[in-house]
Amino acid sequence: MTCVAIGLGCRKNVPAKMIAALVRRALDMADLSLESAAIYSIEDKFEEAGLLEAALLLALPLTFFPREQLAQYNGKGATRSQLVQAQFGLDSVCEAAALAGAGQGGTLVLPRISDNGATCAIAIGAAL
């Protein structure tokens, strides 16, 4: 079974329904389901209500990684954001979080998409 790692990033105060809708759209684009999925983001967002509520709406676990751990994935994603580079020192929060969540040998299957102030990427890895 495949582990589906959903990486998320967002601006402050993005509503949970918008984040959940973006996740569902991303899963459709990647032809994946919520089964064996989990959400990952940067620990700077651990109090972001939209992310926390979206995880509840989707009934998925949510894990936060420190910047330093996500920085290991710079140059391994498909996109780069100058804003994210300036703010967090990362190429992309959502792509790095997805790759970190997928674990060793994880593969990015959906590069960053964005809508309404939220970003989402999906990586897959071997089931834990």
* DSSP secondary structure, 37-67, as one string: EEEEEEGGGTT-HHHHHHHHHHT--EEEE-H
Q: What is the mean pLDDT of residues 1-17?
A: 91
1 pLDDT higher than 60: no
Q: How far apart are CA 33 and CA 123, in angstroms?
A: 13
pLDDT mean across residues, the chain:
94
Q: How far apart are CA 82 and CA 52, in angstroms?
A: 26
Q: How confident is the model at residue 63 (pLDDT cuts 50, 70, 90)?
A: very high
Q: How far apart are CA 19 and CA 36, in angstroms?
A: 19
Q: Residue length, the chain?
A: 128
Please name the residue ranges forming H helices in 3-126: 16-29, 49-58, 67-71, 82-88, 93-102
Tokens matching residue 91:
């190429």
Q: What is the pLDDT of residue 126?
A: 73
Q: How far apart are CA 60 and CA 98, in angstroms?
A: 14
> Which positions ≥6 away from 86 have C-beta within 8 Å?
none
Q: What is the mean pLDDT of residues 33-43?
A: 95
Q: What is the mean pLDDT of residues 14-39?
A: 96
Q: What is the pLDDT of residue 50?
A: 97
Q: Which residues are paired to 3 by β-bridges?
A: 125
Q: What is the pLDDT of residue 127?
A: 60
Q: What is the mean pLDDT of residues 21-46?
A: 96
pLDDT in tens, 76-104: 998 999 989 999 999 999 999 999 999 98
Tokens matching residue 120:
């989402």
